[in-house]
Amino acid sequence: MPELPEVEVLVRGLEGELIGRIIRHVEINKPTMWQGQGPANLIGQKIASIERVAKLIVISLSGGLSVLIHLKMTGQLIFTDQKGAKIAGGHPDDQFLASQPSKYTHVFFDFDDGSHLYFNDMRQFGYVKVVDSSKLLDHKHIATIGVDPFATEFTAKYLFDALQKRPKTTVKQVLMDQTVIGGIGNIYCDESLFEAKILPTRKANSITKTETVALRDDIIKTLEKGIKYGGTSYKDYVHHNGARGTMQDHLKVYRRYGQKCVRCGNVISRTIIGGRGTHFCAKCQK
């Protein structure tokens, strides 16, 4: 589910809760979702930091280990102060799923003060992986990751060069390629291209320098907007406390096919690019 904004919001929320807590117990209900070193290595370790790398969550422990968590499509990380604690702001339908272990809770961490962190994942695409912090860069998802959209390296020139290098593919596929840019997924890709008035079906190397300048700015603006609204919560995405984001109420094209374009009134179209549903306005995107 989560793309950059969703992971960013989640990480910021968890940061305020997890730093300094000591892991007392780890329970794995679904061994296939746990990779790397065993859970015993985490006992007694203090949480030193938590950060986002593209769409990956990296929790670093004081003892030199890092816990990598990828939420893929339906992952959730839920923090609760106590067992049975009421979750604030959650959607009624998500209350049960988010507030306590369910059949979708595959891993949970207990901390020294009795608080907990649950990893839920309905579709089981995600994972928890424990690695040495010193070998973090060996993890393939980190080693091959492209620039972060919020990094100073993400310039119009960088984007233009990347687009030029891929004459055979579409602009959408380049934006979604995590080795080029880390963090853009299906929602924010379609939204950014709408803002930049560029059709997702365009060949990557047909995008002009002028268009690239606008596109780069619109990518950043769109991601910032997603963070501002707490991410997109269609069904599964929730914050660390179970609350839902509201970006789904502010999307202009994503999953709006058949509805009117907010910019020109034309009907929003849908097609498939790289196996992913793709939404655009055929009239005001060129």
Partner DNA sequence: TGCCCCCTGCAG
Partner DNA sequence: CTGCAGGGGGCA
Residue 48: φ, ψ to 5°: -95, -35
What is the contact mask toward DNA in residues 79 to 118, using x (rule: CB under 7 A)?
A: ------------------------x---------------
49 binds DNA (CB under 7 A): no
For the CA atoms of 153, 56, 67, 37, the dihedral, rounded to the nearest 10 degrees, stands at: -110
Based on the shown chain and the rule CB under 7 A, indicate whether residue 125 belongs to the binding site for DNA: yes
Which CB, 197 or 276, lies closer to DNA? 276
Which residue has tokens 């950060």? 51
Nearest residue to 3 (alpha-carbon basis) of 61, 68, 70, 67 = 70
Q: Catalytic residue numbers?
A: 2-3, 55, 276
The residue within the footprint of DNA, chosen from 221, 276, 282, 283 (CB under 7 A), is 276
Is 100 in a helix, a strand, or coil?
A: coil
- Integer Cα distance of 14 and 78 in angstroms: 9
135 binds DNA, rule: CB under 7 A: no
Any contact of residue 249 with DNA (CB under 7 A)?
no
Footprint on residues 188-227 left by DNA (CB under 7 A): none
Least distance (Å) from DNA to the CB of residue 235? 4
Of 46 and 72, nearer to DNA (C-beta) is 72
If you search the block for the tokens 């593209």, which residue do you land on?
A: 54
Enumerate the H helices of the chain as residue ranges.
Answer: 4-18, 95-99, 140-143, 156-164, 171-176, 186-195, 209-228
Contact 194, 211 (CB under 8 A): no
Task: Tell which one of 37, 169, 201, 206 touches DNA (CB under 7 A).
Answer: 169
| DSSP summary character for residue 248 | G
Q: In the set 234, 252, 263, 283, which binds DNA (CB under 7 A)?
A: 234
Looking at 191, 195, 211, 236, which residue binds DNA (CB under 7 A)?
236
Residue numbers of the site for DNA (CB under 7 A)? 1-3, 6, 54-56, 70, 72-74, 103, 122-125, 140-141, 144, 166, 168-169, 173, 178, 185-187, 232-237, 255, 274-277
